[in-house]
Amino acid sequence: MKSRFKFIKSTGSYFLLSVALFLGSCGTNSGTSKQEVKADVKRDTDQYFSVKIDGVLWEAFPSKAYNTYNLSYKTLSRQFSIFAEAPDGSRMDLSFHTIDKIVPGNYPSTNNDNGILSGIFYYPEAKSSDREMASVNSEVTVQENAVQITKVDKSDKTAYVIEGTFSPVLYASYETNPNRTSKLAEGKFRVIYHPDSINPAF
C-alpha cells in the first residue's frame, strides 16, 4: 500500500512537470512569434538614402524628430522630391516629374521641361558655395534615365512607399568650381510619403 502511494505520487509529479514544460515551451514560441512580427513591421518602415560620390559613400538619415525624410509632391507639375541631409550638413535633393501618374520606370533630369527643373542636386557644404553640383546645368540640359523608380506601393493610403535607384553624372553648377564632374554610383532610396492636408495624395 505504501509503495503504491509512492508510485501514484511519483506519477503525479511527472505529470505536473510535463504540463509545466509544455506550457513553458508554448510561452517561448509565443514570444518568438511576437518578435518576428515586430521585425517584419520594422522592415516595412525602414527608410534610407545613400550613394557613392566618386567612390566615397554619402548617406543621409530620416529626421529624428519626425522619423522621415523631408518629402514633397507638387500636383501641378506632378513632381516628387526628396530632400536628404547628411550628419555633416551636406545635402542632396532628388526630384523627378511625370506627365501622368508616378509609376515604376525611368525618369530624366531636366533643366527646363516647360519650366520644371528636376534631377539630382548636391550641396557638399552646409552653406551655399561654388562647389554645388547637379545632374543638369545650363550646358547639359537633359540627362536621360537619371532616376529609376522600382516600387510605388500605395496599398496603405496614409503611407506611400517609394523605392528607387540613381547613378547619373553630376556637373559643376558654377564656372569657379574646379571639380567639373562627379560620378554617382549605387544610389538607392526608400522613403515613406504621408499624404495629409499639406502634402497632397497622388
Strand ranges for 9-119 from DSSP E: 48-53, 56-60, 70-74, 79-85, 91-97, 105-113, 116-118
Chain segment 156-182, per-residue pLDDT in tens? 999 999 999 999 999 999 999 999 999
Chain segment 19-37, per-residue pLDDT in tens? 443 444 444 444 444 434 3
Chain segment 47-78, per-residue pLDDT in tens? 999 999 999 999 999 988 888 999 999 999 99
User: Is the predicted pLDDT of residue 189 greater than 90, yes or no?
Assistant: yes
* C-alpha triplet 86, 64, 170: angle, nearest 5°: 20
pTM of structure: 0.77
Better-predicted residue by pLDDT, 150 or 3: 150
pLDDT band at 44 (very low <50, low <70, confident <90, very high): low
Q: Domain spans of the chain? A: 1-44, 47-193
